[in-house]
Amino acid sequence: MALLKVKFDQKKRVKLAQGLWLMNWVSVLAGIIIFSLGLFLKIELRKRSDVMNNSESHFVPNSLIGVGLLSCVFNSLAGKICYDSLDPTKYTKWKPWLKPYLAICVFFNIVLFLVALCCFLMRGSLESTLAYGLKNGMKYYRDTDTPGRCFMKKTIDMLQIEFKCCGNNGFRDWFEIQWISNRYLDFSSKEVKDRIKSNVDGRYLVDGVPFSCCNPSSPRPCIQYQLTNNSAHYSYNHQTEELNLWVRGCRAALLSYYSSLMNSMGVATLLVWLFEVSITAGLRYLHTALDSVPNPEEPECESEGWLLEKSVPETWKAFLESVKKLGKGNQVEAEGADAGQAPEAG
């Protein structure tokens, strides 16, 4: 028994074809939007690729770009099919290809749904790549004279200013690395010598942060050196007083920014997916309604359209049987090839 059977006369078939034609061209515009969103996200990720560990984070924008292009292609073709279905002579050339095309559309809808899910699930991967990339970027902050790393200071400073953040997890991350280049250290100074000798790795570590960590909204002039020394500043207690630095770490700031972007894109992709599913269902109804016309020479007669020719369990069972037959056919071919090679070997 056919699933969700609907009766169509000529007027309903024409209206269905015209409605699907319009929906397909709207979906082409939606595909352009998805493509643009993917391109925008890719550009945003490339802007800060220096503080990201690998290219895994580009999977989502690349997928959005891909499904956006495929959506434009498939829906343009579907629009042409719907337009030609109004003319019986033009429709006959599409008739043999409609079933494979609908199967491809179903597969595309599954891929589109998975891409939408990836937009929501990429937070964990993005968090790990940001954590490692920011840590390495801070390590190379002082290498202003090293080719290939001389831009890292500017990158980190602009990042902290733009996103109002400091360090990887917080401003104290700067206490654990030497972020001042040896070029700007006076090695004849006793203080510099003592600090280097007190460190196992021979690094110059200070309880200070770069200028880009300073919060310009603070009424007090920025305190960026000797942050843990209360006696170094007037009326200052680093444990109780709010520091005039950005408190949030850059990993959390970037993760929040990119997560909000990908969540918005995930919602947009899900809406497009729902639209694509409705178009695929409409195409299936149009296909079955036109195929079930009793006499093609009398287009005014009624016909029936349906989503599935059989019930869901029966359709699934038939699909599994066809897969088994395909597997057995491949096995027989392989055995025949082996039998043919055996006499040659003898």
The model's pLDDT over 184-236, given as tens digits with 9 standing for 90+, comes to: 888 888 888 888 888 767 888 888 899 999 988 888 888 888 888 888 888 87
Q: Which residues is 8 bridged to in the sheet?
A: 303
Q: Of the candidates 154, 123, 140, 139, which has an alpha carbon nearest to the alpha carbon of residue 47?
A: 154
The tally of CA atoms less than 13 A away on the side-chain side of residue 73 is: 10
Q: Check whether 8 has a pLDDT greater than 80.
A: no
pLDDT value of residue 31? 95
Per-residue pLDDT of 15-59, as tens digits, reads: 888 898 999 999 999 999 999 999 999 999 888 888 887 656 688
Helices 59-84 and 98-121: crossing angle in degrees, nearest 10, is 150
Per-residue pLDDT of 254-295, as tens digits, reads: 999 999 999 999 999 999 999 999 998 888 888 787 776 666
> Considering the domain boundaries, does residue 71 fall inside one?
yes
pLDDT value of residue 205? 86
**Segments of 9-145 assigned E as strands:** none
115 and 14 share a domain? yes
CB 77 within 8 Å of CB 282: no
DSSP state of 217: T
Q: Check whether 117 has a pLDDT greater than 90.
A: yes
Between CA 250 and CA 173 the distance in angstroms is: 11
Query: SS3 of 245, please?
Result: strand
pLDDT averaged over every residue in the chain: 82
Domain boundary among 230, 247, 264: 247
Q: Give the model's confidence band at 346: pLDDT under 50 very low, under 70 low, under 90 confident, else very high.
A: very low
Percent of the chain exceeding pLDDT 90 equals 31
More confident residue, 84 or 213: 213
- Owning domain of residue 224: 177-247
Conformational region of residue 226, where left means phi above 0, alpha means psi within -120 to 50, and beta covers everything else: left
Q: Check whether 338 has a pLDDT greater than 60.
A: no
> Considering the domain boundaries, does residue 221 fall inside one?
yes
Domain boundary among 215, 247, 279: 247
> Considering the domain boundaries, does residue 148 fall inside one?
no
Query: Torsion angle, CA of 61/62/67/69, rounded to 10 degrees?
Result: 110
CB 84 within 8 Å of CB 298: no
Between CA 7 and CA 30 the distance in angstroms is: 31
> Considering the domain boundaries, does residue 154 fall inside one?
no
> Considering the domain boundaries, does residue 239 fall inside one?
yes
120 and 24 share a domain? yes
126 and 274 share a domain? yes
Structural domain total, the chain: 2
Tell me how far CA of residue 101 lies from CA of 49, 181, 321, in angstroms: 39, 62, 22
pLDDT value of residue 3? 60
Domain boundary among 247, 268, 298: 247
Q: Check whether 98 has a pLDDT greater than 50.
A: yes
> Considering the domain boundaries, does residue 146 fall inside one?
no
Lowest mean pLDDT among 101-110, 138-147, 156-165: 138-147
Between CA 2 and CA 6 the distance in angstroms is: 10
65 and 125 share a domain? yes
> Considering the domain boundaries, does residue 321 fall inside one?
no
